[in-house]
């Protein structure tokens, strides 16, 4: 039950929820998340740390870049269902679609 509460607390913040949802299709680096959300790198890193501690995302370091991705193998079936439910419920929400569009535009402009 404690792990479920930790996951729900991590996703109770709108910014963290949007960050979590931005990773459901692909891995992103902190610099991309910083540009996408127009927040300081330290703010993004703090939010990602909370999501990582809850077991929702993982990170890998490639050179000087830190990349985050959504964890598909959440600790147990109950928590996996929570993560899947969140993704299914929100993937077509207006704000999430706007974030995806902005990310796509950012990638195309490079």
CB 19 within 8 Å of CB 51: yes
Question: Mutual orientation of helices 2-10 and 41-53 as an angle, nearest 10°?
Answer: 160
Q: For position 33, what pLDDT does the model report?
A: 95
Rounded Cα distance between 43 and 47, Å, is: 6
User: Maximum distance among all alpha carbons in the chain?
Assistant: 44
Cβ atoms of 71 and 3 within 8 Å: the answer is no
Residues 44-94: tens digit of each pLDDT: 999 999 999 988 899 999 888 899 998 865 555 666 777 788 889 999 999
With CA atoms as reference, report the closest residue to 6 among 71, 75, 73, 59: 75
User: pTM for the complete prediction?
Assistant: 0.88
Which has the closest alpha carbon to 33: 11, 43, 25? 43
Task: Please tell me the total count of domains within the chain.
Answer: 1
Q: In the prediction, which pLDDT does 71 show?
A: 80
CATH number at residue 70: 1.10.10.10
Joined together, the tokens standing for residue 94 give: 């207006």
Res. 42: pLDDT tops 90 = yes
**What pLDDT, on the 0 to 100 scale, is given for residue 74?**
55
Residue 53, domain extent: 2-108
With bands split at pLDDT 50, 70 and 90, how would you rate the model's confidence at 23? very high
């Amino acid at each position: 039950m404690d792990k479920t509460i930790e996951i729900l607390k991590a996703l109770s913040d709108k910014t963290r929820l949007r960050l979590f949802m931005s990773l459901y299709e692909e891995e992103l680096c902190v610099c991309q998340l910083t540009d996408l959300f127009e927040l300081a790198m330290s703010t993004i890193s703090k939010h990602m740390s909370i999501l990582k501690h809850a077991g929702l995302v993982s990170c890998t370091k490639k050179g000087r870049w830190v990349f985050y991705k959504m964890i598909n193998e959440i600790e147990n079936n109950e928590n996996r269902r929570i993560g899947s439910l969140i993704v299914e419920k929100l993937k077509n929400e207006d704000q999430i679609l706007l974030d995806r569009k902005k990310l796509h535009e950012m990638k195309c402009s490079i």
